[in-house]
Amino acid sequence: MTKYEVIDYSMPRQCGHFPAPPINYPHMRAIVCLFKAKKENKARFLPPQLESIEFPFDVLFITEYPDSTIGPYNENLILLYCKYEKTFGLFVMNIYVDDDVALTAGREIWGYPKKMCDITLSPIQDNSVRGTLVRKGKTIIDIEVELSEKAPGIDPTYLIKAFPLFNLKIIPDVEDNSKPALKQLTETRLEWPKIYDSRGLDVKKCNSEYSEYDICSELLNGVEFSGGFYVECDQILPNGKVLQNL
């Protein structure tokens, strides 16, 4: 982990909670599972500025970062395939982390809608990998995949380069509860400069326990998975850009 001190960038100002981008993630690993979200959920959860695209290309990531600029942590993302004007991308519907620095940096810089959660991604055992998320006593995601020695059907580097991540960044107003102080549609483009391992996968099971605090069960139960890939790589998270001030 890199030591840092940023004044008037992140709170508290005397020793900021997180550094400015880029954030580097050497030798991370992830399962990337493709599925088709229910049409009614995409209509309900996508912001009006994003157009829903009906295609089995919504994405569930579970990622292990053994090291990064802000330290080690684990992460999960649920992404909905969509379009902003003429740009195709993935809206970050849900994202969970198990580290407070990752939580605050993600929310305050890019607008990632992060929550805290207990996350595990198992080592490869008998050609399988299992990912679990437990939050407030509920197993909101339990997914098991079987790896293939064949190359994945989609190039991981292409996926990252071709499809930016869209976020709806919302900062509450300290005085007026009827509207946020800041509301922006943002875009971020991850970079995977080096791939160490990449394999195809099949989803063997995916269960999500109902929780009144999370909507994973509504998004994932009963959906159709269409493969995906396992990857070990280096990742860079750069600054993003504002698409719209809303």
Is position 90 within any domain? yes
- pLDDT at 13 (0 to 100): 82
Q: Is 85 left (phi over 0), alpha (psi -120 to 50) or beta?
A: left
Closest CA to 66 of 28, 15, 39: 28
Q: Is residue 8 part of a domain?
A: no
**C-beta of residue 164 within 8 angstroms of C-beta of residue 189:** yes
Provide the domain count of the chain. 1
CATH code at position 238: 2.40.400.10
4 lies in some domain: no
186 domain-assigned: yes
Domain hosting 149: range is: 23-245
pLDDT in tens, the chain (246 residues): 456 666 788 888 888 889 999 999 999 999 999 999 999 999 899 999 999 998 878 999 999 999 999 999 999 999 999 999 999 999 999 999 999 999 999 999 999 999 999 999 999 999 999 999 999 999 999 999 999 987 677 788 888 999 999 999 999 999 999 999 999 999 999 999 999 999 999 999 999 999 999 999 999 999 999 999 999 999 999 999 999 999
- Entry pTM: 0.94
Residue 221 placed within a domain: yes
Report the alpha-carbon distance of residue 130 to residue 47 in Å, rounded: 31
Question: How many whole angstroms separate alpha carbon 90 and alpha carbon 57?
Answer: 9
Separation of CA 166 from chain center: 10
